[in-house]
Amino acid sequence: MKRKRSSIEMACDILLALSLQPDHKMIFTPLMCKVNLTWDSLNNLLAFLENKKLAERLDNKIILTQEGEYLNEHYKFILQNLGLVSTLTLGIDEEKALLVH
């Protein structure tokens, strides 16, 4: 049986998904699909990330902040050193997957 992601993993997956975009921005619905979260879960996690100044909403887009980029780099470093792979690396090209693992 597959284990559920923790809240921190889901929050970091949001930051990772945003970081993989060329302009570090995504519209809500594609982000929801990319990180495989319900509308309520994503909305709650985004409120948390906004409160911590890691992401912000501008019009209908979610934007990764500089602080969010910093945390995301640490998250990728931890995944790499523990030999883990984010679920977001599935379905993206090999070059971007190398950024994560």
| Whether pLDDT at 8 is above 60 | yes
Residue 6 tokens, joined: 């923790």
Write down the mean pLDDT value for the chain: 84
β-strand 61-64 against 25-27: which pairing, if any? antiparallel
pLDDT at 87: 59
| Whether pLDDT at 97 is above 60 | no
| Whether pLDDT at 65 is above 90 | yes
Query: Which structural domains are found in the chain, ordered by start?
Result: 7-96 (1.10.10.10)
Residues with Cβ within 8 Å of 89's Cβ and at least 6 positions away in sequence, in order, are 96, 97, 100, 101
> How far apart (Å, rounded) are the C-alpha atoms in residues 61 and 52?
18
Question: If phi over 0 gives left and psi between -120 and 50 gives alpha, with beta otherwise, what is residue 55?
Answer: beta
pLDDT at 3: 76
Q: Fill in the DSSP letter of residue 38.
A: -
* Rounded average pLDDT over 38-50: 96
pLDDT at 2: 73
